[in-house]
Structure 1
């Protein structure tokens, strides 16, 4: 997992060919005015724009998840968003079977930690990062890039 601000995004371009494309998209568009929805930017890079009410920690961790085929780049646009996190190798209580179609695997495990993103900060979550997001109060706006491994 990586947590940083958009100001430092260029440091991570070399980690995956589509990281630069994702951050270029952020720099070349008015991300605050993006409407909710999902679409493909280029092969192997999808964007999901989310506007929604923040949830409690208890509610959010019901969706404690990780992915096998994608890396998430989650960027806070509006509101302080808290995330739950735990390394996948420590998760021992699956919550259902892996969905290949949705590329998601859920767990009943409790998080090891919580961290908060402020506006214009991001988290890069790899397949080994089990996470739950959208923890907070009030309206949260964010972008999630799905980067195919």
Structure 2
């Protein structure tokens, strides 16, 4: 997991070729001007999902993880809380078609998006996005899906 300001995002070039594609696109375009839904950047390798999302309570919410894609999450309006876990216990079988699994575990890090910040969750990392803050119950957000495959699943206990 990496969290930083959008201003510093170019510092992460070179970590993965598809992350480089996402960074170049983001530096040249206004993601806030995109309509809701999917925007392709480089086919299935890099695409963006823009959405309006009602936020949930963090307490009791499961962590999600992906095997094929990293999530680069940016709040366009508002600011959501996110959580991260180093490991977790599988709740149900991984859904290959949707590239998502859910685990329970101890939250080990958290933060708030908005204000020009991003969070990058790598494949296999349990993360809990879209949680309420005291000041925000709804956001408009962009999630860059960046193919970086991690075939071993989440970091399960």
TM-score calculated relative to the size of structure 1: 0.87
Aligned-residue Cα RMSD (Å) equals: 1.7
Match of 2:19 in 1: 19
- Higher deviation after alignment, 50-59 or 96-105: 50-59
SS in 2 for 1:15: coil
Matches within 5 A, 1:53-132: 53-58=54-59, 61-62=61-62, 64-87=63-86, 90-91=87-88, 93-132=89-128
CA deviations 1:14-49 (Å, max 9, x no partner) are 101122221222232222232211132113111111
State the number of aligned residues. Answer: 144
Match of 1:8 in 2: 8
Q: Distance in 1 between matches of 2:25 and 2:50?
A: 13
Q: How big is the shift at 1:72?
A: 1.1
Would you say the 8 A contact 2:74–2:114 is kept in 1? no
Query: Can you give the 5+ residue segments of structure 1 that lack an aligned partner in the other structure?
Result: none
Q: Distance in 1 between matches of 2:110 and 2:4?
A: 15
Greater fraction of residues in helix? 1
Cα gap change, 1:30/1:39 in structure 2, threshold over 3 Å: closer, same or farther? closer
TM-score calculated relative to the size of structure 2: 0.83
Match of 2:152 in 1: none
- Higher deviation after alignment, 2-11 or 75-84: 75-84
SS in 1 for 2:59: helix
Query: Can you give the 5+ residue segments of structure 2 that lack an aligned partner in the other structure?
Result: 149-157
Q: Distance in 2 between matches of 1:118 and 1:40?
A: 23
- Higher deviation after alignment, 32-41 or 70-79: 32-41
SS in 2 for 1:49: strand
Q: How big is the shift at 1:125?
A: 0.7
